[in-house]
Amino acid sequence: MTQEHKTQKKDHSKFFIDFKSIRFKYWLSFIGFATILLLILWLLQIVFLNQFYESMKVREIEKIGYNLTKQYNSKHFKQTVLLTAFTKGIDISIVNEDRYITFPKSDNNVFSQPKSLPREYFNQYFAKLDKKTKPSKIFTQSFLGSDEIQLSYSSILGEKNGKIEYLLMTTPLEPVESTIDILKNQLIIISGLSLALALVLSFFMSNHLAKPLVRMAKSAKKLGDGHFDVEFTKGDYTEADELADTLNHATDELSKTLEMRKDLIANVSHDLKTPLTVIKSYGEMIRDISGDNPELRKEHVNTIIQEADNLTLLVNDLLDLSKVESELSHLQKYPLDLEKLARSVLNRFKMMEQYNGYHFDLEVKGTVVILADESKMRQVLYNFIANAVNYAGLDKQVLIKITETGDQVLCQVIDHGKGIPEDQQKYIWDRYYRVQKNHSRFIVGTGLGLFIVKSILDLHDFNYGVESKVNEGSCFYFKAPVFKDIKK
Ligand code: ADP
């Protein structure tokens, strides 16, 4: 039932447009862009074409008139007039103050009277012209019973034979309506085509853009459901590739941390359970068997104490971790003598020298005072030495070397244990990481010790590392600047 309901719902959602989706937004901007472009085209071609054409014509005729007027006194004036009339398709005539058209002549008969211009036209063209105040004028006129509009230009040319001569130029303003009609039809086709093209293109492009996102959202959902083997697939374009890379990396890290956390819980519960079982059974043994036998009882009590110590170690590691991680842990840096610190830490391992056959050596060269937080550095040294003890070789030797090298102090903790394989060395500083996954009863550990060390040394900004060879031993070290007392 539920399945059916879900499917129905899904089918339904197909018909709704998601206004927030990348597809819709992309499509909208594409269409918007195409519409704006078309609108500009319409305005220029259709609405303003008439004005555009008229003002262009006016400017052209003004320029020609101005040039001709200037050339009135030149030798080739009449030739120029004829040539201009011919090439530009303009009617050009020269009229004198008696209204006679002196050029061009109406026929080739030199004796015939020149044609004269009707008075009303003459007045219309030339009446208000004045050499100084208004040497030329331009205007449009339409004629009754005709659609044609005529553009006229008139100007004063100068005097000839004691009579003033005028220039008259007329040209029809072609009606642009028919052109506009053609353009309109063309534009309708162009608009339709480009909108359709924009629609199709934007559909494909937005699909192309959204595809990797949709794919990755599906993978992320799987990840959210706990499938850590999910892969964010690359493809399509660089940004999607980068996103896929980042998400794959995050998935890796997440699954690693979860894996380690699982290990830790398994380890910690094992580590808690085993000493408790031992403590309980040794307690019972004391109660039932060795209570009256002082020697055996002492042995049993020692075992109980040792197991309790192991438990403390484990709990301490967990507590340290939360302390280092909490925001409250601020460094309190003071001058710190590493030799004194090492001696005091080694004191805690004295028992192991006495009872377990370990041997600790401390070598100090130079002044080994640094500026650091004492309690935190104590933890670093303690963890290094505890590891050296835990993973020491058969010789049970641990060497602590503290050396002043120029302006640095180098502190090394060296053992001859089983070492760490090179490919594992970069991971041992990670939280919960342990080289030996199958848990050994004899080595209590949480995989947190070196992570705590790393956090502390990072806080101090000290360099640190490990040099290790399998079956030869390890040398864990850190380097800190020598503290220089400026008061000295
Ligand atoms: P643990 O509590 O397991 O000791 P650490 O963070 O201190 O955790 O160390 C991480 C891992 O690094 C250990 O599990 C161990 O495998 C390896 N390791 C640390 N110190 C040494 C050492 N001195 N010799 C060999 N291996 C070591």
Residue 424 has pLDDT above 60, yes or no: yes
Instruction: Please give the number of the atom of ligand 1 that sits closest to the Cα of 413.
Output: 23
Angle between helices 238-288 and 177-224 (to 10 degrees): 10
Measured distance between the N- and C-terminal CA atoms of the chain, rounded to whole angstroms: 86
Q: What is the percent of the chain where pLDDT is above 70?
A: 90
Whole-number Å distance between alpha carbons of 462 and 464: 6
Q: Is the CB of 415 under 6 A from ligand 1?
A: yes
Q: Is the CB of 451 under 6 A from ligand 1?
A: yes
Express each pLDDT in 113-145 by its tens digit: 668 888 888 998 888 888 888 889 998 888 767
Q: What residues contact 391, with CB distance under 8 A and at least 6 apart?
A: 415, 417, 418, 443, 474
Q: What is the pLDDT of residue 440?
A: 47
Q: What is the gyration radius of the CA atoms in the chain, in angstroms? A: 51
DSSP conformation letters of 406-433: TTEEEEEEEE-SS---GGGTTTTTSTT-
> Residue whose CA is closest, atom 21 of ligand 1?
387
Express each pLDDT in 222-231 by its tens digit: 998 888 888 9
Angle between helices 177-224 and 22-42 (to 10 degrees): 170
Whole-number Å distance between alpha carbons of 308 and 274: 11
Q: Is the CB of 450 under 6 A from ligand 1?
A: yes
Whole-number Å distance between alpha carbons of 118 and 35: 54
33 CA to centre of ligand 1 in angstroms? 63
338 CA to centre of ligand 1 in angstroms? 23
Q: Is the CB of 433 under 6 A from ligand 1?
A: yes
- What's the burial of 286, exposed, middle or buried (CB within 10 Å: 0-12/13-18/19+)? buried
446 CA to centre of ligand 1 in angstroms? 9
Which token pair is 286? Answer: 């004391």
Residue 221 has pLDDT above 90, yes or no: yes
Task: State the CB neighbour count (10 A cutoff) for residue 26.
Answer: 19
428 CA to centre of ligand 1 in angstroms? 7
